[in-house]
Amino acid sequence: MSNSYNICLDVGGTKVLGVIFDENREIIYRLKKKTAEDGNSSDNVEKVIISVVEEMIKASGIKKKEINAIASCAPGVIDQDGGIVVFCPNLPLRDYDIRTPMEKRFGVPFFIGNDVNLGVLGEYKFGAAKGYKNVVGFFVGTGMGGGLILNGKLFTGNKFKAAEYGHMILDPEGPLCNCGQRGCLEAFSSKKGMTAYIRQQASRGRKSFLADHIEGGVFRSKYLKKAIADNDPVTMEAVDRACHYLAVATGNMINTISPDIVVYGGGVMEAVGDVFMEKILAQVDRYCMPSIRSTVELKAAALGDDSVVYGCLAMIEAAKKK
């Protein structure tokens, strides 16, 4: 019997991570590539995605006829049924049909979904939330993403737009968010939010290690890790503020959903999750009803950088069952 491989892609604003899963759900090959620096058009993004798939097929030695399906995410509003990226804030994709060129090129089914929805789905199927029916996921990275599993199913709402609770407004007169509103969770607790605070303090003459390590509008997670290890005062203020608002948002979601578990993933959690979990757990009880809080677990994601690609695999497997 010939092997059956699934190719899964995590497409972000700065990189594309590709993996090949074998029929035992083991990753047999992985490749990470920068999203084209001249990626000012959908064609350039498409070229990078295609090149990642082709390079992996060639380097791994598998045959095209052995591929079962390809699945991808993108950070934005996705029409899963149509295979269309409706809006993507960090990539030049608007109402872009990605499915047609991918299926034409590789001759296998292609699926696409929102990155954090798939990250939470990955944790639900294979990671920290496995065995739970109702899951709230916060993914803390450059921005702030959310995902929901309700009664054992990924909840995507009307036209796949649900779970954008990174834009839950926690202070209507708070800092400006990229979405145009003020005081969103993302404006406080994401890398963008923490960067804005650090820059504000630096403009007042305060020194901070992270202020000297901001590239392309944000710091890299490895520098955040170092600044925390060195107990950099301005960084610790930004982290305390981020975790405070994450605790408030978590309390709101606990009261609203009464989930079995809340999972925290994303690049920031991967780098400094222990610090964030400790600070969130120290505060969250203040912001939710004790009778609801008592039945909720809070955990860091278990799959690290691979949460999303495992979610892509789950999306392929769900489609096969239909």
pLDDT by residue for the chain (322 residues), tens only, comes to 356 999 999 988 778 899 999 999 999 999 998 876 554 566 778 888 999 999 999 999 999 899 999 999 988 889 999 999 888 776 777 888 999 999 999 999 999 999 999 999 999 999 999 999 999 999 999 889 999 999 999 999 998 889 999 999 999 999 999 888 999 999 999 999 999 999 999 999 999 999 999 987 889 999 999 999 999 999 999 999 999 999 999 999 999 999 999 999 999 999 999 999 999 999 999 999 999 999 999 999 999 989 999 999 999 999 887 6
Domains of the chain, residue spans: 5-115+306-321, 128-302
Q: Which pairing describes strands 261-265 and 297-300: parallel, antiparallel, or unpaired?
A: parallel
Three-state SS at 213: helix
Report the CATH fold assignment for 5-115+306-321: Nucleotidyltransferase; domain 5 (3.30.420)
Kindly report, residue by residue over 169-198, the tens digit of the pLDDT.
Answer: 999 999 999 888 999 999 999 999 999 999
User: The dihedral of CA 228, 194, 305, 156: what is its sign?
Assistant: positive
- Output the DSSP codes for 55-115: HHHHHHT--GGGEEEEEEEESSEEETTTTEEEEETTTTEEEEE-HHHHHHHH-S-EEEEEH
Task: Look up residue 172 and give its two tokens.
Answer: 């209507």
Backbone angles phi, psi at 147, to 5 degrees: -150, 150
Q: What is the DSSP letter of 207?
A: -
Q: Could you tell me which CATH class the domain 128-302 is placed in?
A: alpha beta
- CA nearest neighbour of 90 among 70, 73, 102, 112: 73
- Output the DSSP codes for 237-293: HHHHHHHHHHHHHHHHHHHHH--SEEEEESHHHHHHHHHHHHHHHHHGGGGS-HHHH
* Amino acid, single-letter form, for residue 300: A
Q: Which residues contact 149 (CB under 8 A, 6 or more apart)?
A: 120, 121, 124, 129, 132, 133, 134, 135, 137, 155
Give the integer Cα–Cα distance in Å for 150 and 153.
5
Task: Look up residue 278 and give its two tokens.
Answer: 């400790």
Give the integer Cα–Cα distance in Å for 46 and 51.
9
Strand-pair partners of 146: 138
Tell me if domain 5-115+306-321 and domain 128-302 are identical in fold.
yes
pTM of the predicted model over 0.85: yes
